[in-house]
Structure 1
Amino acid sequence: MATSKLHVAMYPWFAFGHFIPFLHLSNKLAQRGLKVSYLLPKGALPKLQQLNHHPHLVQFFPLVIPHVDGLPPGAETASDVPFPLHDLLISAMDKTKDQVETILGNLKPDIVFFDFGRWIPSLTRRLGSMSIYYSVVNACSMAFSMVPAKGLTLETTLDEQIQPPPGYPSTTVIIKRDEAPHIVLVNDPPRAASFCLRLTAILKESDAIALRTCNEIEGPFCDYIAQQYSKPVLLTGPVLPETSATQLEEKWDKWLNKFEAGSVAYCAFGSQITLQKEQFQEIILGFELSGSPFLVALTPPHGYSTIEEALPEGFKERVGDRGWVHGGWVPQTLILEHPSVGCFVSHCGFGSMWESLVSDCQIVLIPFLPDQVMGARLMVQELKVAIEVERGVDWIIGKESLSKSINLVMDKESELGNSVRNNHVKFKSIFSSKDWQDEKIGTFVQDLQFILESGK
């Protein structure tokens, strides 16, 4: 494997959904001989050290996160604060500028990968380094939300609202731009506009853009982003971590082994999604109604400290050992690899999207956030490897809808189920190939060297 002498730094947004993809990329680059300096909040370090597979090349530089009025004491990451306070966490991130400047000034890396640090491009120019915006969300979301042609402004969001289409919540904001509407699924339109404006400005200032995707599934979107920003767009591929040699913990393995191959439906929505009790219970009842054995890993709904106290009345007695609802972390990759698991009900977060594509499971999607909605459209309408659960009034997922979707893809006689299964097999054969993934990273490193030498 060809090696490189490049030295790069990583400065991701203070959320584990960003820390981990940045660290996966760091490991892949270290495999190619690159030296990586990774800047992150001090409190996040213990949870990430075990994921550093090349400690001789990937070095962590912990940051002390300044306090911002309104944040809980000691808050350092998005996991420490509710979503409405993320703006304050961005302010705390901005206050690390002096620390970051001191560290980067001493290290003098060739390239700094970043996403939310809006002052990074001006800092790297002073230091003689290159700044590359690294996106951990799908390219289609960026193409629809964060390009200059969309003309997104605070005034646009407030003044040009129209009625949302059927099935979308009343808080949906639709902004007519070009030929296609721009859809933002949020409760606070001004906040969404401000967020998109910040990222669009950052993208304009960066020297290049790196996307965690590939031409095979998002080529047209990547080309559109490159055209909009008139700068290099480099593709890393999925940057999937190496298959862990760790065995599935006995409690999971023993329970899953009770069921036939491909019969268990597994569900997880990531750490950012916390449901209201009504929606939580409808989803749990949907799994019960499906008749399949199931493992559901969700955070307790709003207002509850444990999963058990939020379960529907009589649920445990009716389901018995056929279902397991878990309120903590689960080893998702190992669970998806278990022979008994045949269906993955996912929120279509970008990491989960890739994990579903390289699994053998049928894929059922329930997106919540804007990038997840776009990812679901990609999986369902473009790749045709999944189905999306139909929503009812107020965007609620009903138990009947969820049960119907699970049974549809699990039924071996279902025409739609077989169609998405066959399409999934074709893509999995490409994406799960180690040679293919290595080739993507190798090309990415070559592209990095080229843009550095060309001075772009």
Structure 2
Amino acid sequence: MADQLHVVMFPFFAFGHVSPFIQLSNKLSSRGIRISFFTIPGFIPRVKTLLVPSPNTEIIPLQLPPSLGLPPNLAGTMELPTSEAVKLITAIDLTQPQVKTLLSELKPDFVLFEFAQHWLPSLASELGIKTMFFSVFSAIAAAYIAPPGRLIGIEGTPTVDDLIQPPQGFPMRFVYNTFRNPNFSLLH
């Protein structure tokens, strides 16, 4: 249908990141929105079992470049040693020509993406496609782990000892009281 809203989902290829995109896809699809879900071949069986079957939804595999030495049917970061996980980000960067071709063919209204596809907004803009950053991290976690002030005076990547201390001005009393509240639930 020509006037049907079409959204491409492009999560980072770790299942903790893919899962929220699947949940959102199911909600949008149930509202009649067409979904094209980008994933890697190794994730297709899991994605297929979690996406609600719908004529509005299709799974589109992205081929990771073999030059990085990643397994051909890689099923995300869980199959990689921690030291190799950065290769997955590099591999995603190398999918740009493939993604551009797919987006040119699909002509979606929007692409939802994550942290690893920093290049996607400019690529999609060239094609007249809007993008939306979809963060799977909770706001409180991002406020604790990633505020710019946390990096002041730290050389390199923050260590566990650096992260144990909350950033300056972080409302620890609020967090402590929230989790102690017997009426608090992570499900709401």
| Aligned-pair Cα RMSD in Å | 3.2
Residue equivalent to 2:28: 29
- 1: distance between equivalents of 2:54 and 2:26? 9
Structure 1 pair 15–381 and aligned structure 2 pair: CA distance change class (3 A): same
Q: Which amino acid is the alignment partner of residue 21 of structure 2?
A: F
- 1:308-359 residue CA offsets vs partner (Å, 9 max, x unmatched): xxxxxxxxxxxxxxxxxxxxxxxxxxxxxxxxxxxxxxxxxxxxxxxxxxxx
Matched, 1:130 2:127: no
Residue equivalent to 1:101: 100
Residue equivalent to 2:161: 172
- 1:79-119 residue CA offsets vs partner (Å, 9 max, x unmatched): 21022211111111111111111111111111111102111
| Deviation at residue 42 of structure 1 after TM alignment | 1.2
For the 8 Å contact 1:68–1:88, the answer to whether it is kept is no
For the 8 Å contact 2:41–2:74, the answer to whether it is kept is no
- 2: distance between equivalents of 1:8 and 1:18? 17
Counterpart secondary structure, 1:131: strand
For the 8 Å contact 1:76–1:89, the answer to whether it is kept is no
- 2: distance between equivalents of 1:122 and 1:146? 24
* Map 1:35-50 → 2, pairs under 5 A: 35-50=34-49
Residue equivalent to 2:87: 88
Structure 1 pair 124–66 and aligned structure 2 pair: CA distance change class (3 A): same
Residue equivalent to 1:384: 180
| Deviation at residue 143 of structure 1 after TM alignment | 2.3
- 1:273-314 residue CA offsets vs partner (Å, 9 max, x unmatched): xxxxxxxxxxxxxxxxxxxxxxxxxxxxxxxxxxxxxxxxxx
* Map 1:110-121 → 2, pairs under 5 A: 110-115=109-114, 116-121=116-121
* Map 1:258-297 → 2, pairs under 5 A: none
Matched, 1:19 2:18: yes
Q: Which amino acid is the alignment partner of residue 119 of structure 1?
A: W
Residue equivalent to 1:304: none
Structure 1 pair 30–92 and aligned structure 2 pair: CA distance change class (3 A): same
- 1:115-171 residue CA offsets vs partner (Å, 9 max, x unmatched): 021111111111111111111121112223445x53747xx4218x8xxxxxxxx84
Q: Which amino acid is the alignment partner of residue 80 of structure 1?
A: E
For the 8 Å contact 2:29–2:54, the answer to whether it is kept is no
For the 8 Å contact 1:43–1:76, the answer to whether it is kept is yes
- 2: distance between equivalents of 1:48 and 1:123? 25
| Deviation at residue 54 of structure 1 after TM alignment | 3.6
| Deviation at residue 73 of structure 1 after TM alignment | 5.7
- 1: distance between equivalents of 2:150 and 2:64? 34
Structure 1 pair 135–178 and aligned structure 2 pair: CA distance change class (3 A): closer
For the 8 Å contact 1:68–1:91, the answer to whether it is kept is no
Which has the higher relative contact order, 1 or 2, with Cα contacts under 8 A spaced 6 or more apart? 2
For the 8 Å contact 1:38–1:60, the answer to whether it is kept is yes
For the 8 Å contact 2:112–2:134, the answer to whether it is kept is yes
Q: Indicate the percent of aligned positions where both proteins have the same amino acid.
A: 33
Residue equivalent to 1:141: 141
| Deviation at residue 59 of structure 1 after TM alignment | 0.7
- 1: distance between equivalents of 2:155 and 2:56? 48
Counterpart secondary structure, 1:158: coil
Structure 1 pair 78–37 and aligned structure 2 pair: CA distance change class (3 A): same
| Deviation at residue 55 of structure 1 after TM alignment | 2.6
TM-score when normalising by structure 1: 0.36
- 2: distance between equivalents of 1:48 and 1:177? 36
| Deviation at residue 30 of structure 1 after TM alignment | 0.8
Q: Which amino acid is the alignment partner of residue 130 of structure 1?
A: K
Q: Which amino acid is the alignment partner of residue 87 of structure 2?
A: L
For the 8 Å contact 2:110–2:129, the answer to whether it is kept is yes
Structure 1 pair 71–42 and aligned structure 2 pair: CA distance change class (3 A): closer
Structure 1 pair 45–177 and aligned structure 2 pair: CA distance change class (3 A): closer
- 1: distance between equivalents of 2:127 and 2:51? 27
Structure 1 pair 40–178 and aligned structure 2 pair: CA distance change class (3 A): closer
Q: Which amino acid is the alignment partner of residue 8 of structure 1?
A: V
- 2: distance between equivalents of 1:99 and 1:71? 18
- 1: distance between equivalents of 2:32 and 2:161? 46
Q: Which amino acid is the alignment partner of residue 85 of structure 2?
A: H
- 2: distance between equivalents of 1:73 and 1:61? 16
Residue equivalent to 1:51: 50
Counterpart secondary structure, 1:173: helix
